[in-house]
């Protein structure tokens, strides 16, 4: 398993990302452009990237579920209720996934 030494930076050949072992002991992946940022900033940026990846995956799952709801005959009003909006807003957002 790859374990960078605390405080050291490792880069992948021809890539714009680096692995950094922060002062807290976390290994984070950040863009090369922030290699001189504080450990806290690098950890925050890495956590932000992870959360964005999780959100994007969840949005893809949500789109699939909306399509399944519609395929199972559920109304846009029902879909809107499930996602916390109106049927009209749900149809506007996901109307092309049917």
Domain ranges of the chain: 9-97
pLDDT tens track, the chain, 98 positions: 455 555 555 555 546 777 777 777 777 777 878 878 888 888 888 888 888 889 999 999 999 999 999 999 999 999 999 999 999 999 999 998 66
18 neighbors 32 (Cβ within 8 angstroms): yes
Q: What's the residue count for the chain?
A: 98
What 3-state DSSP class applies to 75?
A: coil
pTM assigned to the model:
0.61
């Amino acid at each position: 398993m790859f374990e960078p030494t605390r405080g050291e930076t490792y880069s992948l050949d021809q890539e714009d990302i680096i692995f950094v072992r922060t002062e807290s002991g976390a290994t984070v992946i950040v863009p090369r452009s922030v290699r001189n940022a504080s450990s806290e900033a690098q950890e925050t940026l890495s956590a932000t990237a992870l959360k964005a990846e999780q959100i994007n995956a969840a949005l893809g799952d949500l789109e699939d579920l909306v399509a399944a709801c519609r395929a199972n005959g559920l109304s846009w009003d029902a879909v809107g209720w499930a996602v916390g909006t109106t049927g009209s807003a749900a149809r506007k957002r996901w109307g092309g996934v049917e």
